[in-house]
Amino acid sequence: MYTCGPTVYDYAHIGNFRAFLFEDLLKRWLVHRGFKVMHVMNLTDIDDKTIKGSQKQQMPLRKFTDFYVKAFFEDIKALNIEPADVFPRATDLVPEMVTLIKTLMDKGYAYRGEDSSIYYAVCKFPGYGKLSKIKVDELKAGARVSQDEYAKEEAQDFALWKAWTPEDGDVFWETELGKGRPGWHIECSAMSMKYLGETFDIHCGGVDNMFPHHENEIAQSEAATGKKFVDYWLHNEHLLVEGKKMAKRLGNFYTLRDLLAKGYDPIVIRYLLMSTHYRQQFNFTFEGLESAKGAVEKLRNLARRLHDANGGKESKGTVATLTSKLEACFDGSMDNDLDIGTALASLFDFVREINGLLDENKVSKQESADIGGYLMQLDEVLGVIGKVEVEEALPLDIDGLVQKREQARKAKSWKEADAIRAQLKVMGIVLEDTAQGVRWHKEKA
């Protein structure tokens, strides 16, 4: 599985992470289903933006991109995204790209333009447009020809190798192709085929990468090898913020770090960004974040209740029936093109039913352990529950308050009980009244 990674010139934004989280969900689901997944995600550390950024900071390119690579790894760790098996950096694979471009020139798919750059001749590849359904004729008609585009033979052709220009400063490679740097599209062909072979199973990315990026990857790779490049392409739809396209000028642009600085739990952000089907547009809202927080808390609460359950009566098979019903629905939905929405809906039905049984003290210790084990299995896919914290002994003053509230409740002094609950909430302690008595947990930030 190959997934187009970040361009490391800035912190990644939540639109980027929507893609990376959908890919994480896909990978976790395949592993859950018993597939062995080899995952490659590239890091684009050479392009116009990274060059400009490093010049602005007066830093060598590598040092500049190192900073954002490190930040990216911190971000995916916070979001509980499983790292790829390999994270190749474009600048480490320039020789592979040069070899690929030479093959394309030898085979007549590439030519040197008037500006010494090397271009891919789109009209030489009959299959061009098969992924995005774009027609080359329409491209020709619609292409805006800018000044520097006179260097190529046709407006729709794209650069495989960019000849050095003074704006590139000290960023260049001296190769058989001349002094310059690789184009963006060739990076992904070279990096994916190096680690996954000439034909591999799955390629993912955002829908905005379908054309021209992925269309160009196919053209380059298939022209060079004569083989099918990828069997399955999966593209996630755009992310909107409060109903609008995310843009810095609209003030609705968020990196993960912006949201963490506002105090949101990264796992809640994870849950929200992955909970909509990947082929649907996703509208990010702060209201959505609040309800995601509630959803994650519901799952964690159930895990805690099961963990601490003292054991009631046997459910007489109800637990087993509910569990296999959930399993069938969850698996069936996820197998159906990752229908996470339906899968989560069935999970929350299950949570409600089990909570009901627990309230009635109708779940045995063994059943609690079974449900807890199954939840943990599902969490290997969802990655939002995590390790259940065991209740620690309460500090004395808090314990005193909890007991005082219990007495108030027994005496039916609801007002006093509520006041104490509010006081504890301020201290970060959340109370829950259950059939087995009052329970508490620390509120996550």
User: In whole angstroms, how close is the CB of 22 to Zn ion at the nearest point?
Assistant: 15
User: In whole angstroms, how close is the CB of 216 to Zn ion at the nearest point?
Assistant: 9
User: In whole angstroms, how close is the CB of 211 to Zn ion at the nearest point?
Assistant: 12
Phi, psi values for residue 119, rounded to 5°: -120, 155
DSSP string, 348-412: HHHHHHHHHHHHTT---HHHHHHHHHHHHHHHHHH--S-SPPPPPPPPHHHHHHHHHHHHHHHTT
- Nearest to Zn ion of 81, 363 (CB atom): 81
User: In whole angstroms, how close is the CB of 383 to Zn ion at the nearest point?
Assistant: 24
Q: What are the tokens at 69?
A: 């690579």
User: In whole angstroms, how close is the CB of 229 to Zn ion at the nearest point?
Assistant: 12
User: In whole angstroms, how close is the CB of 213 to Zn ion at the nearest point?
Assistant: 6
Please identify, among the stretches 3-11, 53-61, 109-117, 234-242, the one whose residues bind Zn ion according to the rule CB under 5 A: 3-11
- Nearest to Zn ion of 188, 326 (CB atom): 188
Choose among 24, 6, 445: nearest CA to 273: 24
Does position 4 interact with Zn ion (CB under 5 A)? The reply is yes
User: In whole angstroms, how close is the CB of 4 to Zn ion at the nearest point?
Assistant: 3
DSSP string, 231-265: EEEEEEPPEEETTEE--GGGT---BHHHHHHTT--
89 SS3 class: strand
Please identify, among the stretches 2-10, 107-115, 149-157, 356-364, the one whose residues bind Zn ion according to the rule CB under 5 A: 2-10
User: In whole angstroms, how close is the CB of 93 to Zn ion at the nearest point?
Assistant: 13
- Nearest to Zn ion of 187, 367 (CB atom): 187
Total number of residues that touch Zn ion (CB under 5 A) = 2
The greatest distance separating any two alpha carbons of the chain, rounded to the nearest whole angstrom, comes to 90
Residues 6 or more apart whose CB falls under 8 angstroms from that of 274 comprise 18, 21, 22, 24, 25, 340, 382
- Nearest to Zn ion of 125, 330 (CB atom): 125
User: In whole angstroms, how close is the CB of 188 to Zn ion at the nearest point?
Assistant: 3
User: In whole angstroms, how close is the CB of 186 to Zn ion at the nearest point?
Assistant: 10
- Nearest to Zn ion of 2, 254 (CB atom): 2
Residues 6 or more apart whose CB falls under 8 angstroms from that of 339 comprise 277, 333
What amino acid occupies position 55? Answer: Q
Q: What are the tokens at 347?
A: 């999970």
Q: What are the C-alpha distances in Å from 123 to residues 126, 127, 135, 136, 221?
A: 7, 9, 11, 7, 15
- Nearest to Zn ion of 197, 428 (CB atom): 197
Q: β-strand 239-241 against 110-112: which pairing, if any? A: unpaired
Choose among 196, 198, 214: nearest CA to 206: 214
Residues 6 or more apart whose CB falls under 8 angstroms from that of 345 comprise none
Binding mask 140-169 for Zn ion (x = CB under 5 A): ------------------------------
Choose among 38, 98, 47: nearest CA to 68: 47
- Nearest to Zn ion of 4, 8 (CB atom): 4
Contact 218, 2 (CB under 8 A): no
Q: What are the tokens at 434?
A: 């259950």
- Nearest to Zn ion of 4, 239 (CB atom): 4
- Nearest to Zn ion of 193, 326 (CB atom): 193
Binding mask 167-196 for Zn ion (x = CB under 5 A): ---------------------x--------
Does position 41 interact with Zn ion (CB under 5 A)? The reply is no
- Nearest to Zn ion of 30, 188 (CB atom): 188
Does position 84 interact with Zn ion (CB under 5 A)? The reply is no
Residues that bind Zn ion (CB under 5 A): 4, 188
